[in-house]
Every structure is written in C-alpha cells, then in structure tokens.
Amino acid sequence: MAQVLEFKLPDLGEGLTEAEIVRWLVNVGDVVAIDQPVVEVETAKAMVEVPCPYGGVVTARFGEEGTELPVGAPLLTVAVGASADGGTPAAPAPGAEPTPAGPSASSASSADSAVSSEYSGNVLVGYGTAGPAARRRRIRPQSPAVANPTPNATAGPAPTATAPAVKAGTPAPVAAAPAPVAAAPAPVAAAVAVAAPGGPLPVISPLVRKLARDRGLDLREVRGSGPEGLILRADVERALTARETPVAAPVGAAVAMPVGTAAPAVSAAPAGERIPLRGLRGAVADKLSRSRTEIPDATCWVDADATELMAARAAMNAAGGPKISLLALLARICAHALARFPELNSTVDTAAREIVRLPQVHLGFAAQTPRGLVVPVVRDAGTRTAESLTEEFARLTESARQGTLTPADLTGGTFTLNNYGVFGVDGSTPIVNHPEAAMLGVGRIIPKPWVHQGELAVRQVVQLSLTFDHRVCDGGTAGGFLRYVADCVEQPAVLLRTV
C-alpha cells in the first residue's frame, strides 16, 4: 500500500519565514525522484529551487504561482511506494486535502508511519529538518453562504469527528436553528475564528508582527487565511486597507437629513494600480524603513579630482593582463580607509546598547537588477587585490542579473559602496544598509573646470558622499574618513604606503 507523504516548505535559512511560489516544476501525477527540484520560490534574499526529499508520484500541490506561503506550510504530497496491485493512488485535485488510501484500520498506522518517515530520510542540504510535528490540516477559504453550515446544508454526510450522532426520534437540528442560515450573509471573516483574548496569536512571521505594530493594528482582530488560521502578510495588508477605506452605510440604515439637503457623496477608494509589496520589493521596503526608523544617519560630501585615478587605471590596463575595474579601485580605497577609521566598520547591538567593531571588511555593493535593488557582498575585501576584486564584482553582478544569488551572497556585509554614477547623477544621500554603520556613494565622473596647480583646467571631477550612523562616531571621524578617500582618489600614490 502506497504512503502519501506531505512535503512542507522547509526553512530556507538566514531568518527567512516565508516565500512566494514563482513557478511549479512538476504537475500532479508526475513521478519525482529523491532530491529533484519541484518548485521555484522567491524569498526576500534570492530565487531558490526547492528539492523534494521523497521519490514517488505527486498527488497534490498546495498554492498557485504567486501565492506566499509561510515556512512549514504544505507544498505538495507524494505517494511513495506502489500498492498491492501495482497501481498508484488516485491524485486529488490541486489544493485539495489528501485523503487516506483506504478506510481500513491499517490506514491509520500507515499514516503514522508516513509522519515518522518524513523526518528520517535524506536531509535537505542547507535547509535542515526538525522532529516530527503535528500534521496540519489545510483550511480552504469558505464563501459567506457556507461560513456556518448546518448539518443539512452541506452536500454529503457531516464529518463524524465534529458532528455527534442524532438518536432516532430526536428533532433535526436544522429545524431548531434557522438563525445561522438567515445570518449566512455575515462577513466572510466569520469563516475563520479569531484568537482567544488570552490565547496565542496565530502568526509566526516577525515581519508580519512588525507591520501590524508599526501601523497600530491589533492582530487579534485579523482573520488569518493560512493553514489553521495562520495570519499572513496579505491578511494584515487587507485589514489595513479595510480600516483606511471608508465604509458605506448599511442598507436600511436611515440617516436624519434636513429636508431638501442633498446627501453627501461617499468618498471612494483611490483609483490606480495596486502593486503588492512582497518578495524582494517587500524585503527592500522593510529594510529601508527599518534603517530610517532605527538609525540616526547623517551625510557629508566632497568633490574630488579623479583625473589621476583614471590615469592610473588606464596605465594598469595598458600593461596587459585582466582589466581592472574602477569599482575595484574604489573598493581598495574604502578598505584602506576603514583600516584607518574602524568606527565605520561596525554595527550597533541595540539590545545590549553596545557598538560592535568588526574585524573583517565584507564589502557590499548596490546592484540594480530586473527584480530590483540587491546588495551582493564581497567577502574579505580588505585582503583582496584589485584584480581579485574585479573578478568577484563581475561574478556577483552576473549572478544578480541572472537571479541566481544565494542568501550567503547577500548577507554579512559590514560596509556598502554605492556607485550611483552609472545612472548619470552627481550626488545622493543614500540610506544606510541596516545593520551596517555607513555607506559611501560615488557619483558620475565628468569633465569640469577645476583649479589645478594654481591654474584653471578641465579635470575629471567626482562627488563623493558618506552617510553614516551617528551613534558609532561623530562628524570628525566621518569627515576624516571621507577626506582620506578623496585624497586617495586625487593622489592614488597615497596607497603605495600600504602596499
């Protein structure tokens, strides 16, 4: 007899609590092998193909493309092993709750065996497994007409687990309780019960909790649409939209108006396209909002003559060998500046009220991709040569464009270099990449009139800006860092002291 095993969305690491289904790689009825990728999901960090730890026939898929699921929610079910007659169990429709293979007493023990074996197979690399957990039944949204069905209002017999048997001669309950049927058009939210006043909230995502807390929304008033009433980000957004949208007066509610006075027009919701803030765009929005909320940032800037730096780069590339990028030279300058001003290569532990100075320089750089803004991280940038930095920048940039960056490529940065000059602008006041303490912005390098050696000349000028966390240092330190960077740009020979 085949066993139907449920594969849940695994923990993708790096503190991620949810993911959006981008593309299904298998259909119901397909045969999958162990560790075969079955779905492509988008997290707040990157696009990930999720492999299935079971081999067998896919019997059900949970969630359409574009659906956001929390970690631990069912992804699909797989029938493992063949039945006695060599067949496989019938595949239920997508989104349906899988049913046991048969009503015999042995099916219960088979189900228990399936649950235990779910955690005894191969471990998914990078995901990890947990001990056996209680199986969760998928709750499908109900329409208002069936939000509170009576025993006779449903097609088919009532489940024996929830409806007690009615003795012969006892009046049918539907005749004694017509009120629920009349109240069927009540709000749809009645289909899912809210949390008890003193009970735990059915929400596991810290992002969802923070969103509700920042907007002053009581999560006990929100009905969850996830498994077992789990509150998702979409539920909170719907509740906030409903709270901010004016509600028209109910039908039949009379309003006293003076005779001859026209009724005021009811303001409708603002028209326009609504784009959900989720996936990468939502993660960027949350991180930038957190940075603006927690970090008291300040910005200083300076113009620098980059003519000598451009000439030094041209000389390096003319000597043969791999080409050196301008971003790599700026990264080298940043690494040396951070060695002189370590206050800016730090982070703030708000819980302990401590500044943590970091020993290594892991340099992030802003990269614009079709999916949005990402900040890949170059590990140990302080110990790399200009040639090594050029290669790593090229590798990470290509991975960002292809959408193949891993969570490890996008986390752990200690300082960020933002070259917004590629957009044809001179200056900016960038937002610090939380939890880092500073970001250096580089504008475009263009010919400008400049006083050079006492004479007016046309030079290659660039504007540099530094945004920093004022908790880790004062303006003197930030100004000293930026001045040193500008000196290295104007006179690259300064770096020879540290070669």
Q: Where in the sequence numbering do the catalytic residues fall?
A: 470
In order, the DSSP letters of 105-161 are: THHHHHHHHHHHHTTSSPPPTTT---S-----PPPPP--GGGSS--TTTSSSPPPTT
CB 302 within 8 A of CB 487: no
Q: What is the CA radius of gyration of the chain?
A: 30
Tell me the three state secondary structure of residue 171. coil
Q: Tell me what percent of the chain is helix, strand and coil, each rounded to the nearest 5.
A: 30, 20, 50
What is the CB neighbour count within 10 angstroms for residue 104?
11
d(CA 94, CA 80): 18
Other Cβ atoms less than 10 A from the Cβ of 461: the count is 19
Inter-residue contact 334 to 415 (CB < 8 Å): yes
Question: What whole-number distance in Å separates Cα of residue 199 and Cα of residue 90?
Answer: 40
Using CA atoms, how far apart are residues 469 and 437, in angstroms rounded to an integer? 5
Q: In degrees rounded to 5, what are phi and psi of residue 370?
A: -60, -25
